[in-house]
Structure 1
């Protein structure tokens, strides 16, 4: 059996009944918010699509972009969008990296490394990432 997406992390922001706490990535969808299309099932605490797919409705809590990962097999992708000013860089990166799903961190750090150099050529990338992660 595959590991759950969020395994035994009691401090994680995901809701206690979120499918991410019991299912691996790819076995549930992520919606932007609760909707009537995905009603709550009090028997197990999940929300489900009409086809019976479990749905997380708080993407900001699980650190995943909205996607039909189970329903459509949507691949997990995230695009880093740096702020316009250097002064906002460290706080932005801190929020993005600490709010991201662990499975996204390698890709986000690689994107940050490339994009910081491109957008802010005078910035020390390693020092900036250290401050953001510190």
Structure 2
């Protein structure tokens, strides 16, 4: 059995992760996972994902979306955790509205993952209002559509 078959099937990984996540194209273990975006893992337009600026390793910046705890799987050879390991939960920093519109989708996912089923609708309503103060409606609607098609379908 392949290592990534212990976790989510490829089509579920693609639906659960950001469009620029290395998990979209690479097997688990072939990319690092860090706890949040930062200067050490910038988006590389040529590669189509974030990469560690020192090692060049592809890097996922949302552990709660990919379902792996932060670790240097590709650059340091850290072994993948057992499939029974609970998926990481969003941190307080993940719940802060980002400045970058490419991170809007991950912010929405973090909010929904922390909301009870009874609060899903009000969480979405509040998130749309907050995001619309910083981002254009095109960015907000696009992020909400992608998130709603996956996050709400899985609940």
Give the alignment's TM-score, normalised by structure 1. Answer: 0.51
**In the alignment, structure 1 residue 9 sits paired with structure 2 residue 12:** yes
Distance across 2 between alignment mates of 1:6 and 1:71: 24
What is the CA deviation profile of residues 3-22 of structure 1, one whole-angstrom value per residue up to 9, with x for unaligned ones?
97762338732011110110
**RMSD of aligned C-alpha atoms?**
2.9
Q: Gaps (5+ residues) in structure 2?
A: 87-112, 114-154
Structure showing greater radius of gyration is 1
Partner of 1:42: 45
**In the alignment, structure 1 residue 23 sits paired with structure 2 residue 26:** yes
3-state secondary structure, aligned to 2:23: helix
Count of aligned positions: 81
3-state secondary structure, aligned to 1:40: strand
Q: Gaps (5+ residues) in structure 1?
A: 81-94, 96-133
Partner of 2:65: 61
What is the CA deviation profile of residues 76-130 of structure 1, one whole-angstrom value per residue up to 9, with x for unaligned ones?
22655xxxxxxxxxxxxxx8xxxxxxxxxxxxxxxxxxxxxxxxxxxxxxxxxxx
Quote the offset at 1:41 in angstroms: 1.1
Give the alignment's TM-score, normalised by structure 2. Answer: 0.44
